[in-house]
Amino acid sequence: MSTLPDSRESREMPSGKEGGLPGSAHEAPIVARGDVSRSSDSTGLEYASAAAPVGDLLRAVRGGMHGVTASRGGVSGANASVGVAVFDGAGNLLEMNPQLARLLGCGDCPPPSLFSSGFVGLEGTTEVLSLFMRIAAGKVPGGMCRKRFCGEGGKTFTARVTLYAEHDISGRVARIVKLVQPEAGEDASVPGADVADKVRAALDLIAYARLNERDLPSLVARFHRILRSLMPFEHCYVALCDGPGGMVSYPYYRDIGVVSRDARAFGDGISEYIYTNGAALVLDAQGIESLERAGRFRLRCARPRHWIGVPLRTHGGEVIGVFAGKSYREGDAYTVEDRLLLELVSGHVAGAIIERRKAFALQESEARFRAIFEHSAAGICLVGRDGLLMDANPAFEELLGLTRAEVVGCRFDAFLPVKAASELDSTCRSSFAEGRDTVSLRLPFLRVDGEQRWGRQIVTAVRDVAGDVAFVLAQVEDITEQQQTEARLTRMAFHDALTGLPNRVLFLDRVETALRRARRHETYHFAVLFLDLDRFKVVNDSLGHKAGDELLRQFARRLEPCLREVDTMARFGGDEFAILLDDMSDVDESVNIIERLQAALRQPFLVQGMEVYTGASIGAVLRARDYTQAEDILRDADIAMYRAKDSGKGRFVVFESSAAPGAQDILRRENELRRALDGDEIELYFQPIVALRTGRITGLEALVRWQHPEQGLLAPGTFIPLAEESNLICDLDMHVFRKGCLAVVALQEAFEGPLAVNINISARSFRRLRMVQDITDILRETGCPPQMVKLEITENLLLTGLEVTDKLWRLKDLGLSLVLDDFGTGYSSLNYLRQFPMDILKIDRSFISRVHEERAARGIVESIANLGRTLGLGVVAEGIEVSEQAEILLEVGCPHGQGYFYSRPQPFDRMLRTLERRRPLPLSAG
């Protein structure tokens, strides 16, 4: 830069050019917002225009392209010493300034593309084209090389060629700029080194510096050296501002004896003033003093004679800091041209800062990804659109037993079995096409030694800016041990541990499958057999349980050869087995298989060195396709098996629909109920009682259910009769009452306010002598407040005599409320209602179900509601299933009700969630 003359005549500012302080001949602060118009060229780079020649030059160097002439001050692109051409990414010429056209001698007919004859040929062509292609591909931002051109009249000249990319807002290469600067002595027509030439050269050097300087301080230092040749710019700095509450940092700072400055809190300095106002500022010493006195800012360094600063503004218009210079010499005044040039340079500085921030963020992101990629315990690989592996981490190498060099370039599906590869491909294609970019599958994969292992594979699509899948990231976690454990657990869940046969759950599933198949195909038939070993108890008691287990294993192995591959044999527990005879041609085929089974059992079993003879009693359902439920088939096969046992050992009986359960079946069910009471199979479900006008829950009714280990959840109608016949009803009532009291306590802990629970007591329990004492004991043991419990009894109980009346009054004295259930279906009279201490009448559901359809039913319900009000009793309607019933009940004066319209009975935990919502019922109609 020392070869350029230091001429500053054009920078002298005419009097009053920028205005002045009142009463002062001194230069006033210059704010760029007031005297500079800002615009953008086609690349999005901002430039400043002003009335001075150099200002026009700054606009014309890029604005004076081919066919365009700057109109301000007579300066045109023809005066530029540097040839400029702009191309798109494919090399098509977009613009050319007259200087380049003159150098190439092409006049008004410029070459259409970079690959045309005007640009190619002679030494350096290959280097230029190679550099252009790399820039267009985004591999490098720009570069420089030397090339010999053929000019006007066939003369040749050597020039320095600089290429750099300009990007659009999304970061893609929008166009590529080519600067052609003939070397010294090559172009005699280049104008002399006047001020304009000096500016042109500076701009060329600035563009070149931005391409080549990777470090921000080095780049600003380069700009500093360039600007010092054009203006008094010995001392300058770059300040980056976070805004109020943030920090001000100095990536570059040069002042008298100072080469760096620490970051500080955002405050009231001159840099913050420019940052906040977003406008350039040119001041002399008196201007600085004047603004300081006005409280605009506070100077944090020695006061210079002259000061210039511009905001660092990104292409998006965001101000990120300040670029400023200062001079301590009296005669060094800054001009408008200085400010314009500094603004242009500040755009390069801001762009460089943003680029480096993005690059740093990208480097950090890449470093994080690489750290995760290299150190992840899961195998990770990158797969291109062609299905070839682009990279793999050490864990992936370990999974396959191959090195990274061995897997990169291989097809990903080469490491999968054919079926797994097809499943992964189809799943990914459909998911990615639907916009779901992550797919998770469990698939087997193959190691290099041929071993097949299982992996959890998570495949994520990585899309390019156009939204297309650029590549996929696949994570593979070895879950072979987990898969094997799950397989073992699944087998344990569906198979008998002793014999290895399917268990009841799996057997029922296969029977259900057979039923579905029978519904689809009229010609399909199947049969179910239920087997029970004869004399098994004798073997168990005489030889021990180990011998019994061995007999069961041998029994299973003995029968399996008698069956076909499509048949299923299962062990239900103890000495009970079941067989599904699948796809039978007719009944005779089923009978033939049964006879084979019986023949196989005639041979003795060798258990612990002893011969053991045992047969099996077999119950058969041969027309199983006529059923709708698998449980019903097993039930009837079980009944037939007991009939076979009753008729003698080693027999089989075919179930007929007229067959009734025998005594053994009743005994078995009674024992199951006893075990249910001893265990935890009896559960309470709760149905809310609501205020019909508001839908708010005012109480709950506890309803008993049996969670049968094999048959699932049973309603009370299926086991209450059995409990009454077997004298278990009293135990069941007290079991239910205890659970109900515990529920009351839990409700009181969870919610504030009264919420009573209705509990049903059977007539037989009421007749027990200790009934009142048992209830008293349970209330005391559970800590349940009696006033929160309502006992429900039926009308017929009131007709059993004075003993019941006495118990009712004793229960009333305890604090319990009494509810007369199913009112209207018994034989009670008004006289009974007056003498018994009842609190609530419950209208039977048989009336409620017809109340919206029959006038008679409506009249009965209205009468009961009026009766309750007359006697001072509460009235509750049960069995409300539709909204019309609820509306009529309100009309006739019934205040409370319950039924499926409001809520089905729910387990206690679900009922708690319903109560927590505190919303009126029903939550949804139906």
Single out the residue of 695, 606, 592 nearest to residue 903, CA to CA.
695
Those residues with Cβ within 8 angstroms of residue 77's Cβ, 6 or more apart along the chain or in another chain? 60, 61, 63, 64, 65, 66, 68, 69, 70, 84, 97, 98, 99
Any idea what the CATH number is for the domain that residue 466 is in?
3.30.450.20
Question: What was the pLDDT predicted at 465?
Answer: 80
Which of 191-200, 207-216, 712-721, 819-828 is predicted least confidently?
191-200
Q: Looking at the predicted structure, is the pLDDT value of residue 494 above 70?
A: yes
- Pairing between β-strand 46-49 and β-strand 37-40 as defined by DSSP bridges: antiparallel
- Residue 263: strand, helix, or coil: coil
Kindly state whether residues 877 and 861 are assigned to the same domain.
yes
Any idea what the CATH number is for the domain that residue 695 is in?
3.20.20.450
Any idea what the CATH number is for the domain that residue 333 is in?
3.30.450.40
Beta bridge partners of 584: none
Kindly state whether residues 579 and 685 are assigned to the same domain.
no
Q: Looking at the predicted structure, is the pLDDT value of residue 796 above 70?
A: no
Those residues with Cβ within 8 angstroms of residue 251's Cβ, 6 or more apart along the chain or in another chain? 216, 217, 220, 238, 240, 353
Tell me the one-letter amino acid at 240. L
Which of 511-525, 533-547, 672-686, 858-872 is predicted least confidently?
533-547
Average pLDDT over residues 591-597: 90
User: Which residue did the predictor score with more confidence, 493 or 646?
Assistant: 493
Question: What was the pLDDT predicted at 832?
Answer: 63
Single out the residue of 7, 47, 5 nearest to residue 335, CA to CA.
7
Kindly state whether residues 400 and 547 are assigned to the same domain.
no
Average pLDDT over residues 763-768: 80
Average pLDDT over residues 518-547: 88
Report the alpha-carbon distance of residue 61 to residue 64 in Å, rounded: 6
Q: Looking at the predicted structure, is the pLDDT value of residue 26 above 70?
A: no
- Residue 587: strand, helix, or coil: helix
Where does a domain end: 460, 481, 502?
Answer: 481
Single out the residue of 310, 306, 268, 270 nearest to residue 287, CA to CA.
306
- Band of the pLDDT at 811, cuts 50, 70, 90? very high
Single out the residue of 701, 676, 703 nearest to residue 690, CA to CA.
701
Kindly state whether residues 635 and 685 are assigned to the same domain.
no
34 falls within a domain: no
Question: What was the pLDDT predicted at 192?
Answer: 35
117 falls within a domain: no
User: Which residue did the predictor score with more confidence, 92 or 222?
Assistant: 92
Q: Looking at the predicted structure, is the pLDDT value of residue 512 above 80?
A: yes
Q: Which two tokens stand for residue 105?
A: 């001698």
How is residue 922 annotated by DSSP? P
Q: Which two tokens stand for residue 795?
A: 């009308």
Single out the residue of 211, 258, 291 nearest to residue 31, CA to CA.
291
Which of 28-32, 90-94, 490-494, 582-586 is predicted least confidently?
28-32
Tell me the backbone φ, ψ of residue 142, rounded to 5 degrees. Answer: 175, -175
Q: Looking at the predicted structure, is the pLDDT value of residue 202 above 70?
A: no
Question: What was the pLDDT predicted at 877?
Answer: 94
693 falls within a domain: yes
H, E, C per residue of 865-891? HHHHHHHCCEEEEECCCCHHHHHHHHH
* CA 512 to chain CA mean position, Å: 36
Kindly state whether residues 673 and 641 are assigned to the same domain.
no
Kindly state whether residues 579 and 539 are assigned to the same domain.
yes
Average pLDDT over residues 127-148: 87
Any idea what the CATH number is for the domain that residue 639 is in?
3.30.70.270
793 falls within a domain: yes
Q: Which residue has the tokens 């605009």?
A: 296
918 falls within a domain: no
Burial (CB < 10 A; 0-12, 13-18, 19+), residue 561, is: exposed
Kindly state whether residues 160 and 217 are assigned to the same domain.
no
Report the alpha-carbon distance of residue 482 to residue 489 in Å, rounded: 10
276 falls within a domain: yes
Kindly state whether residues 644 and 679 are assigned to the same domain.
no
Tell me the one-letter amino acid at 896. H
923 falls within a domain: no
User: Which residue did the predictor score with more confidence, 767 or 61?
Assistant: 767
Report the alpha-carbon distance of residue 688 to residue 61 in Å, rounded: 85
Distances (CA, A) of 493 to 503, 514, 655: 8, 21, 30
Single out the residue of 149, 87, 139 nearest to residue 112, CA to CA.
87
Asked if residue 273 lies in contact with residue 281, where contact means CB atoms within 8 angstroms, the answer is yes
Question: What was the pLDDT predicted at 5?
Answer: 30
How is residue 831 annotated by DSSP? H
Question: What was the pLDDT predicted at 830?
Answer: 59
How many Cβ atoms from other residues are within 10 Å of residue 326's Cβ?
A: 27
DSSP string, 106-125: -TT---SBTTSTTT--STTH
Longest CA–CA span in the chain (Å) reads 137
Burial (CB < 10 A; 0-12, 13-18, 19+), residue 502, is: buried
Average pLDDT over residues 149-173: 79
Tell me the one-letter amino acid at 390. M
CA angle 262, 266, 269 (to 5 degrees): 85
Q: What is the pTM of this model?
A: 0.39
Report the alpha-carbon distance of residue 684 to residue 703 in Å, rounded: 5
Question: What was the pLDDT predicted at 12?
Answer: 33
Distances (CA, A) of 270 to 122, 236, 308, 551, 920: 55, 13, 11, 99, 65
pLDDT tens track for 861-918: 999 999 989 889 999 999 999 999 999 999 999 999 999 999 999 999 999 999 988 8
- Band of the pLDDT at 71, cuts 50, 70, 90? very low
Single out the residue of 576, 564, 722, 549 nearest to residue 641, CA to CA.
576
Report the alpha-carbon distance of residue 876 to residue 864 in Å, rounded: 10
Kindly state whether residues 608 and 712 are assigned to the same domain.
no
Report the alpha-carbon distance of residue 231 to residue 6 in Å, rounded: 9
- Band of the pLDDT at 42, cuts 50, 70, 90? very low
Which of 104-108, 158-162, 287-291 is predicted least confidently?
104-108
The total domain count for the chain is 5
Q: Which two tokens stand for residue 673?
A: 């109920």
Asked if residue 216 lies in contact with residue 353, where contact means CB atoms within 8 angstroms, the answer is yes
pLDDT tens track for 264-276: 999 999 999 999 9
Report the alpha-carbon distance of residue 238 to residue 260 in Å, rounded: 11
- Structural element, H or E, at residue 463: strand 452-463
Kindly state whether residues 700 and 622 are assigned to the same domain.
no
Report the alpha-carbon distance of residue 682 to residue 738 in Å, rounded: 12
Q: Looking at the predicted structure, is the pLDDT value of residue 65 above 70?
A: no
Q: Looking at the predicted structure, is the pLDDT value of residue 133 above 70?
A: yes
Domain boundaries, position 463? 376-481
Q: Looking at the predicted structure, is the pLDDT value of residue 661 above 70?
A: no
Question: What was the pLDDT predicted at 361?
Answer: 85
Kindly state whether residues 806 and 864 are assigned to the same domain.
yes
298 falls within a domain: yes
Question: What was the pLDDT predicted at 880?
Answer: 94
Calculate the CA dihedral of residues 489, 490, 491, 497 and round it to 10 degrees.
Answer: 50
Cis peptide bond prior to 922, omega within 30° of 0: yes
Average pLDDT over residues 701-718: 90
Those residues with Cβ within 8 angstroms of residue 525's Cβ, 6 or more apart along the chain or in another chain? 518, 583, 584, 585, 586, 623, 624, 625
Please enumerate, as own/partner, the contacts of 590-597 that have beta carbons within 8 Å and a separation of 24 or more: 590/527, 590/620, 590/622, 591/622, 593/562, 593/563, 593/564, 593/567, 594/529, 594/618, 594/620, 594/652, 596/562, 597/529, 597/531, 597/559, 597/562
Report the alpha-carbon distance of residue 239 to residue 320 in Å, rounded: 9
Where does a domain end: 605, 632, 659?
Answer: 659
Report the alpha-carbon distance of residue 759 to residue 704 in Å, rounded: 9
The residue ranges of DSSP E strands in 151-243, in sequence order, are 156-167, 173-182, 235-241
Report the alpha-carbon distance of residue 56 to residue 418 in Å, rounded: 70
Tell me the backbone φ, ψ of residue 497, rounded to 5 degrees. Answer: -65, -30
Number of helices and strands (H, E) in the chain? 29, 36
Q: Looking at the predicted structure, is the pLDDT value of residue 303 above 70?
A: yes
Single out the residue of 826, 836, 822, 829 nearest to residue 873, CA to CA.
836
Kindly state whether residues 684 and 647 are assigned to the same domain.
no
CA angle 568, 570, 572 (to 5 degrees): 155
Calculate the CA dihedral of residues 452, 453, 455, 459 and round it to 10 degrees.
Answer: -20
